[in-house]
């Protein structure tokens, strides 16, 4: 039965159906049905939730349903499938989903729902982290369009760009003062902003090859950013 803090939260969020005092006890065959692709609820056998939308719970018995692994991150996080993302809206959506499926709210529930909660939470975290960072968001969006950048590939970078990266790395290796580090950070930040703007335009024009080229450059600068972070860590 839904009770205590979880029940109160569900009532506040409007997820508790009118006239329902409790839930049907979880079926003993829940585990065997958990992997079933049937739209029926695994617990009560009633009509399941839609494949899209926020119907994480059965409308009949309120049992938490398994996550829809075919749903892309943009849909899950209620974002348009585009490179430009409202990060404030993304964060609000993340917090909303955390309140719905966080494992802490299922500590007194059946093992099946605990497992589903863990899977939902992992999926939500992965989606949030992926869409929050411009580079991972761009790579994910590119993948949705059937284009991937294999790890370790240089995508035939032009020599001028590679020389630019080499010079920045040399400056970083030689940097001994906080001022020098801040100067390099400023350069890299400006480069990433310029590339982010350019890749956004490439996606708007459905120029995925151009987006691939720009994202590869962003990955180079991302590696420099990681080196800067490491150098800041005191030995």
Q: Quick one: average pLDDT of 71-82? A: 95
Q: Which H helix or E strand runs over 93?
A: helix 87-101
Q: Quick one: average pLDDT of 85-114? A: 94
Tell me how far apart the alpha carbons of residues 224 and 129 are, in angstroms, rounded to a whole number.
Answer: 20
User: What average pLDDT is seen over the chain?
Assistant: 83
Structure tokens at 26: 């979880």
Q: Which residue has the higher pLDDT, 114 or 49?
A: 114
- Nearest in space to 101 (alpha carbons), one of 136, 134, 48, 56: 56
- Contact between 100 and 56 under an 8 Å Cβ cutoff? The reply is yes
pLDDT tens digit sequence for 221-232: 999 999 999 988
């Amino acid at each position: 039965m839904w009770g205590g803090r979880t029940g109160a939260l569900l009532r506040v969020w409007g997820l508790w159906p009118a006239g329902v005092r409790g839930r049907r006890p979880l079926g003993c065959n829940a585990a065997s049905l958990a992997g079933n692709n049937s739209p029926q609820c695994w617990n009560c056998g009633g009509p399941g939730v839609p494949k899209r939308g926020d119907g994480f719970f059965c409308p009949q018995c309120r049992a938490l349903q398994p996550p829809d692994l075919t749903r892309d991150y943009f849909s899950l996080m209620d974002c348009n499938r585009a490179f430009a993302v409202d990060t404030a809206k993304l964060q609000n959506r993340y917090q909303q989903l955390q309140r719905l499926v966080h494992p802490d709210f299922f500590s007194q529930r059946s093992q099946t729902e605990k497992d589903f909660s863990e899977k939902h939470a992992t999926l939500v975290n992965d989606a949030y982290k992926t869409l929050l960072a411009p580079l991972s968001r761009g790579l994910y969006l590119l993948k949705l369009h059937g284009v991937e950048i294999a790890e370790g590939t240089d995508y035939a970078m032009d020599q001028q760009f590679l020389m630019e990266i080499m010079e920045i790395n040399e400056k970083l290796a030689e940097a001994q003062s906080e001022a020098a580090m801040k100067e390099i950070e400023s350069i890299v930040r400006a480069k990433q902003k310029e590339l982010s703007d350019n890749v956004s335009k490439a996606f708007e024009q459905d120029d995925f090859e151009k987006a691939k080229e720009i994202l590869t450059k962003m990955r180079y600068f991302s590696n420099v950013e990681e080196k800067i972070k490491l150098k800041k860590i005191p030995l």
